[in-house]
Chains A and B, each alone.
Chain A
Amino acid sequence: MTTTTDFGPRTLDLDLAAETDRIVAMIRGYLTTHRRKGAVVALSGGIDSSVTAALCVAALGPGRVFGLHMPERASSPETISLSRSISDHFGFDSVVEDIATTLEAVGCYRRYDEAVRRVVPEYGEGWKSKIVLPSVVDDDALRLYSIVVEDPQGERSRHRLTIEAYLGIVAATNFKQRVRKMLEYHHADRLNYVTTGTPNRLEYDQGFFVKLGDGAADIKPIAHLYKTQVYALAEHLGVPEAVRTRPSTTDTYSLAQSQEEFYFSLPHHLMDLCLYGLNHDVPVDQVASATGLTAEQVERVYRDIEQKRRTTAYLHEPPVLVENVPEIHG
């Protein structure tokens, strides 16, 4: 453990070879215990799924890893080429499952548009949108979601969401992660493989996942790693540079949306330091010095982290029973 007196980006340094070995051992151990033959990885073209795939290849070999590319209407054009670069680079089989028709069939896009029209009645064909949060570091205001819409002429406007609109939008977009997970389990069942979850520590801690969507998985090999550490591991494992330098994106809305404007309050390298500082009781002035924030801004980020933990605790909860079933749970 690093002492707090030299707190800074180096605090998150890892012995990358040893960490790889530790994760590889976990993957092999789980598959052995549960008698599964390999791992399915849903590839988004982002850093987390790419590192997860690389770790599975390191643990199991490319012949026991199966990749899925699952674009839909809102996916950015480079997503599939980047995700294919991972399966090609690490040499494992993969298929494209275009989920747009499934999403259309369950009414994902229609329900989304209907929810947006609760606050922007003219929203429809040819419009684009994304939901955004205000910055947490600027003031103490409670962070309430707004929707940014762009009309067919390219004119943008921002509107605060009502609760019905907000919940309707979330419920509609959550279809995307859940349909993807359904297909992951299909292929896992077919191959007798496990499914993988790809959250990093920021995402796992802050509930940046859909319950029974991307939050569902048999193993989550990088959920304990800060995002800075995931990037370091990516380089160590040989993840192609185009993936390592891609800006973070949710790839969920029709307007391009960074993870910072959707959920996290700061770029990941600063969020990592704040989260580490909060987790390890690093004095606020040292976190402020390391991040270039004021102490007041760090305190705001801490409050936001703790609020998100409270808000998303439900996402981590397993189904609750009235009493323990000792024959199953011990």
Chain B
Amino acid sequence: MESQITQTLRAFITDNYLFGDRARLPADDASLLETGVIDSTGVLELIEFLESEYGFTVEDTETLPENLGSVAGLTRYVSAKQRQGAA
């Protein structure tokens, strides 16, 4: 399940921010902000993607670097939100 989420996120980030250049995609645990892949506008895009793709709301209190700042963090965050929704 997590690998499917990871693949979806990698594909979105590669297509949306890197013009399809997979070679520029940072490692899963690297910061997308510090590596310059996304900026504050990119974070807004990312939030809208998560909300439309997975059907949950990203709360203001959840807009943390550990949730949204890397592919690995995003995968953990989406998985946790899905578990919350299923509970």
Residues of B within 8 A of A145 (CB): 40
Complexed CA–CA distance, A18 and B33 (Å): 41
Q: Which of A36-44, A77-85, A156-164, A182-190 forms part of the interface with chain B?
A: A156-164
Taking the complex as formed, is A142 at the interface, i.e. its CB lies under 8 A from any CB of chain B? yes
Tally B residues with Cβ within 8 Å of A. 19
Residues of A within 8 A of B45 (CB): 163
Q: Which of B1-9, B18-26, B60-68, B75-83 forms part of the interface with chain A?
A: B60-68
Complexed CA–CA distance, A185 and B48 (Å): 40
Residues of B within 8 A of A140 (CB): 64-66
Question: 0/1 per residue, B30-70, Cβ < 8 Å to A?
Answer: 00011010011101110110000000000011011110110
Residues of A within 8 A of B65 (CB): 140, 142
Taking the complex as formed, is A123 at the interface, i.e. its CB lies under 8 A from any CB of chain B? no
Q: Is the CB of B39 within 8 A of A141?
A: no
Complexed CA–CA distance, A307 and B38 (Å): 10
Taking the closest CB of chain A, its distance from the CB of B69, in whole angstroms, is 8
Dominant secondary structure of chain B at its interface with chain A: helix
Taking the complex as formed, is A302 at the interface, i.e. its CB lies under 8 A from any CB of chain B? no
Specify which of B33, B41, B48, B63 is in contact with A141 (CB 8 Å cutoff).
B63
Known pairs A163-B45, A307-B33, A310-B33; A144 contacts B61 (CB<8 A): no
Complexed CA–CA distance, A143 and B64 (Å): 9
Interface magnitude class on chain A: 10 to 19
Closest to A163 in B: B44
Taking the complex as formed, is A167 at the interface, i.e. its CB lies under 8 A from any CB of chain B? yes
Complexed CA–CA distance, A311 and B68 (Å): 17
Taking the complex as formed, is A209 at the interface, i.e. its CB lies under 8 A from any CB of chain B? no
Complexed CA–CA distance, A145 and B47 (Å): 13
> Can you list 19 A-B contacts (CB < 8 A)?
A134-B60, A140-B64, A140-B65, A141-B61, A142-B33, A142-B63, A142-B64, A142-B65, A142-B68, A142-B69, A144-B43, A144-B63, A163-B45, A166-B41, A166-B44, A167-B41, A310-B34, A310-B39, A311-B41
Q: A142-B40, A142-B65, A307-B33 are in contact. List 13 more A-B contacts (CB 8 A).
A: A141-B60, A141-B63, A142-B68, A142-B69, A144-B43, A144-B63, A160-B60, A163-B48, A307-B40, A310-B33, A310-B34, A310-B39, A311-B39
Residues of A whose CB lies within 8 Å of any CB of B are 134, 140-145, 160-163, 166-167, 306-307, 310-311
